[in-house]
Amino acid sequence: MDAGARVGLLGLRQAVAERGLGLEGVHVLQEGEEAVSFRWVSDDRRDIYSVSKTFTSVAVGIARAEGLLGLDDPVLTHLPEFASTAAAGVETMTVRHLLSMTAGVDLTWDDPDLDHPGDPAQAFLATTLSSAPGSQYAYRGTNSYLLGRIIASASGEDLREFLMPRLFGPLGIGNPQWFRCPLGFPLGAMGLHLRTDEIARLGETLLYDGNFRGQQLVPADYVQLMRSELTPTGRPGDNASYGLHCWSCTRDDAWRMDGIYGQFSIMLPHQRACVTVTAHYEKPTTDILDAIWTELIPFL
């Protein structure tokens, strides 16, 4: 990495200390330069929270390329066993609606350990719609869980097993663990455990339109859809628009994976760079994004 970027990393480290931003690790990749990282704590695998959603979206893109599903497939075509108990209007819900958080189902799991009784997919699809599918944004992790169930139905492998040879293996991520529902299906929305640099490998892949060091892992057209099919959220600032299980940034035409407490992997196409951080920060995590933009990105 060039001297300017090193200065930027030093500035970020100083900002973290002065502002108490709770960062645990940072990894910076820029095209043509050696990646640089810094850690405040040991590099253990930990829950990456909603960054898990982007991995789920990538699985959908890979399954689509393999002809296993289409984005405009009705959900019930892949989960027909729930048609008899589905709420009115669910028949119009599509895979795309789940990806964009516009499914129209306002359902959350109340149990803090996500030990939902019965079948969570059945419960989701039986819930009375709060809005017509495709008409209103509502950020709910149950959308991601259902995508995992669709992957399992379409491929015969659960979400983690589907991704092992297609993504985790090629990225050099051995034996990642993913929290599961009581029926044994990965949660999809959260619960994937990775190290900072392992998240960064997917960030690198998405920065380069699905290509990881010479191997096309994610279809390039799907990567473009992820960042360009945007749904307004009604929220201010850097949470203004939601892609297909990723977020659009309001600066530098960037986009990102985003998890609670400050898990970010930011793809910066103009700088040909990817900045990944993990953290535990219980204040607004836009504080972390602001520090990255003011202290580090100007030097990339």
Segment 198-203 shows an average pLDDT of: 98
Segment 95-120 shows an average pLDDT of: 86
Distance CA 18, CA 155 (A): 49
Q: What are 255-282's pLDDT values in tens digits? A: 999 999 999 999 999 999 999 999 999 9
**What pLDDT, on the 0 to 100 scale, is given for residue 140?**
94
DSSP class of residue 77 equals H
The pTM is what?
0.97
- Average the pLDDT over each of 26-40, 103-117, 165-179, 269-283 and give the range with the smallest value: 103-117
Instruction: Please determine, looking at this structure, whether the domain spanning 1-44+196-216+227-300 carries the CATH number 3.40.710.10.
Output: yes
In CATH terms, the fold of domain 45-194 is Beta-lactamase (3.40.710)
Q: What are 25-60's pLDDT values in tens digits? A: 999 999 999 999 999 999 999 999 999 999 999 999
Distance CA 278, CA 297 (A): 17
**What pLDDT, on the 0 to 100 scale, is given for residue 116?**
75
Q: How much helix, strand and coil, in percent to the nearest 5, is found in the chain? A: 40, 15, 45
CATH 3.40.710.10 domain span(s) along the chain: 1-44+196-216+227-300, 45-194
Higher pLDDT, 145 or 240: 145
Which of 207, 292, 178, 181 is closest to 30 using CA atoms? 207
